[in-house]
Structure 1
Amino acid sequence: MNHSAPASTQETAIPEFVRGTINLASARLGAVGLFSTDAFFAPLERMLNDEPAVFLPDEYDDNGKWMDGWESRRKRTPGHDFAIVRLAMPGRILGFDVDTSFFTGNYPPHASIEVARIDAGEPDEATEWTEILAKTPLGPNAHHFLEITDPAMRSRVWTHLRLHIYPDGGIARLRVFGAAHFDWSRVGTSDEVDLAYIFHGGRALAWSDAHYGSPERMLGPGRGINMGDGWETARRRGPGYDWTILKLGHPGEIARVVVDTAHFKGNFPESCELLGANLADHTGPLDDEALRDSEEWTTIVPRRKLQMDHIHEFAGDDIAAIGPVTHVRFNIHPDGGVSRLRLFGTKA
């Protein structure tokens, strides 16, 4: 097997079905590789890393060439290899990226994916698996964006998946694009809840810039662990400001907003503001006209100064009671980084 450095992965346009989704197989959000039939050359957990795969030409370990992904040995017996992954959260799956970056002479020629919903515990011999992606050809050193088009499959909620590779080889990254599922019936109408939390179904639909980190990271659990764990834009060299549009996990009335600039010191935004709209009939991505209209949405939090590495809380008189909203527009002036955004309120 030739392990000289391959050319970088071919440029692939991000397909429409990926817009507004989250990666349910994100290790950062809690996805875990539970089992693989073989991981001789590279462990399963690397396949779930959030960072793009890399190639280290001079890196070797006891079993051979170090590869950034999951890689099984060459199979010398009948059958094929597979791996089981617990998703970061229950969710609906819209498609996948089976990424073979830097796997050239050692990629699997085909893959298929099964899914299961397990409300407690982990898969066992009695688990019923459902095929969501039929056996599909793969190529070397490439992203393979594979959309699930069956409406029935797109509407169901899953917790685990089983990735089959035929017969063996390496997968650099597996991305599972979808939306988190949360049982909102468990939340009372007077209970305070984070309407934008990623585990509650909040997600980023659009943004002006995400050079150093996507807006979806602001909706993650806990406080940011470092400056890379948040939304950060490039330095703005012209007029204007940066923004992102978020879809809430459930329509609701926002009563308290937390903007956390943890770890952002020389690069925090000078100020921010929050606008909202009730787009009850709008479930997908926003078109260009809707994006322009969002500049005129109703103000929830007027423009407020921010500080470096600080938790800012806006409540009471700082919040305009505009009624239930389904979407918000978060503006930062002129640019910079925000670690976490919490939108507390009650469901409508």
Structure 2
Amino acid sequence: VVETSHFKGNYPEQCSLEACAIDGLPATEQLISDAVLWAEVLPKTNLNGDSLNPFVISSEQRWTHLRLKIYPDGGVARLRLYGEVVPDWNRLKKIGGEIDLTALENGGLVLSCSDMFFGHRHNLIMPGRATNMSDGWETKRRRGPGYDWTIIRLGAPGRIRRLEVDTSYFKGNFPESCSLESCNAEDAPIERLQDPEFVWRPVLTRTKLQAHTRDFFDEVMDTGISSHVRFNIFPDGGVSRLRVYGRI
């Protein structure tokens, strides 16, 4: 989305977008040099003033940097690019050791959940610690039987070694307990994963949680290679962050 809000007589007539993939943290001098090969992902396209200008970009390649060009000049309020995080797996494999398989920065994605009345499900795998209660995943109170759950696609299939369940800021509304299950079904549609008949393998059996605490679980069941996990909370409540550490 190329947003030109408030730019009515001084917005660019057209724009284009280019992308490149460079390892590491290149300096600005390198990025603007002729040595970088930029690929055009959005050709020169007309813009409207004081508007949201949405565009569809079809590209399956991993990009690290983008270059917006405006013609001939003018003002742009915001540039928004929506897509999926694709980490540099070659770098992570060279580093070795355990990584957070569910982390957003490692390509994790929360596919679905039973409820997110108070806090969005995507908060669960965001970088860093939560800043307040609204920065976590929280469900509404149940008035009957059952429990709440969320399904997360791992950034890459891996073997789960340990967990962290962080209930920071949830003091009177944290779940009484939680459990974690996994499966290895990379290409399974979400409808199949949500099917009550779908078989999940237990990684952590139902375990009590504490309020406003980072709970670490270093002893979990070895379920082999996993592509997805289902995090269950009993009966409801809020969790700031979930970390699922393992090896790819």
TM range (shorter): 0.7 to 0.9
- 1:227/1:139 CA distance change after superposition, 3 Å: farther
Deviation at 1:321, TM superposition (A): 1.8
RMSD: 3.1
Distance (Å, rounded) in 2 between the aligned partners of 1:192 and 1:299: 20
Matched, 1:217 2:123: yes
Distance (Å, rounded) in 1 between the aligned partners of 2:113 and 2:50: 29
Is the contact between residue 180 and residue 198 of structure 1 (CA under 8 Å) also seen in structure 2? Answer: no
Aligned partner of 1:164 in structure 2 is: 69
1:71-106 deviations in whole A, cap 9, x for unaligned? xxxxxxxxxxxxxxxxxxxxxxxxxx4456x65847
1:217-262 deviations in whole A, cap 9, x for unaligned? 3223332222233223344455533322111122122121110111
2:206 is aligned, of 285, 303, 307, to: 303
Secondary structure of 2:64's partner? strand
Aligned partner of 1:118 in structure 2 is: 22
Distance (Å, rounded) in 2 between the aligned partners of 1:268 and 1:343: 19
Secondary structure of 2:37's partner? coil
1:288 is aligned, of 169, 182, 191, to: 191
1:132-188 deviations in whole A, cap 9, x for unaligned? 122345557765553333xxx31x221111233455344346133222222246437
Residue identity opposite 2:216 in structure 1: E
Aligned partner of 2:150 in structure 1 is: 244
Q: Unmatched 5+ residue regions in structure 1?
A: 1-96
* Alignment TM-score, normalising by the size of structure 1: 0.59
Is the contact between residue 2 and residue 76 of structure 2 (CA under 8 Å) also seen in structure 1? Answer: no
Secondary structure of 2:97's partner? coil
Is the contact between residue 177 and residue 207 of structure 2 (CA under 8 Å) also seen in structure 1? Answer: yes
Once the two structures are superposed, the pairs formed by residues 308-347 of structure 1 within 5 Å of their partners are: 308-316=211-219, 319-347=220-248
Distance (Å, rounded) in 2 between the aligned partners of 1:239 and 1:145: 44
Aligned partner of 1:276 in structure 2 is: 182
Distance (Å, rounded) in 2 between the aligned partners of 1:108 and 1:240: 55
Once the two structures are superposed, the pairs formed by residues 122-161 of structure 1 within 5 Å of their partners are: 122=28, 123-126=31-34, 127-138=36-47, 145-149=54-58, 153-154=59-60, 156-161=61-66
Residue identity opposite 1:197 in structure 2: A
Is the contact between residue 227 and residue 262 of structure 1 (CA under 8 Å) also seen in structure 2? Answer: yes
Is the contact between residue 294 and residue 329 of structure 1 (CA under 8 Å) also seen in structure 2? Answer: no
Distance (Å, rounded) in 1 between the aligned partners of 2:79 and 2:135: 19
Q: Unmatched 5+ residue regions in structure 2?
A: none
Distance (Å, rounded) in 2 between the aligned partners of 1:241 and 1:224: 23
Distance (Å, rounded) in 2 between the aligned partners of 1:266 and 1:323: 36
Moved more, 289-298 or 251-260: 289-298
Ranges of 4+ aligned residues in structure 1 off by more than 6 Å: none
- 1:335/1:139 CA distance change after superposition, 3 Å: farther
Once the two structures are superposed, the pairs formed by residues 202-213 of structure 1 within 5 Å of their partners are: 202-213=108-119
Secondary structure of 2:175's partner? coil
Distance (Å, rounded) in 2 between the aligned partners of 1:141 and 1:237: 47
Distance (Å, rounded) in 2 between the aligned partners of 1:110 and 1:332: 50
* Alignment TM-score, normalising by the size of structure 2: 0.80
Residue identity opposite 1:146 in structure 2: F
Distance (Å, rounded) in 2 between the aligned partners of 1:247 and 1:175: 21
Distance (Å, rounded) in 1 between the aligned partners of 2:53 and 2:137: 26
1:87-127 deviations in whole A, cap 9, x for unaligned? xxxxxxxxxx4456x65847666543211223232322333
Aligned partner of 2:138 in structure 1 is: 232
Matched, 1:264 2:167: no
Count of aligned pairs:
241
Is the contact between residue 103 and residue 172 of structure 1 (CA under 8 Å) also seen in structure 2? Answer: no
Matched, 1:255 2:161: yes
Is the contact between residue 139 and residue 238 of structure 2 (CA under 8 Å) also seen in structure 1? Answer: yes
1:200 is aligned, of 91, 97, 106, to: 106
- 1:339/1:104 CA distance change after superposition, 3 Å: same
Distance (Å, rounded) in 1 between the aligned partners of 2:152 and 2:205: 17
- 1:281/1:177 CA distance change after superposition, 3 Å: closer
Residue identity opposite 2:213 in structure 1: H
Residue identity opposite 1:302 in structure 2: T
Is the contact between residue 84 and residue 107 of structure 2 (CA under 8 Å) also seen in structure 1? Answer: no
Distance (Å, rounded) in 2 between the aligned partners of 1:142 and 1:330: 40
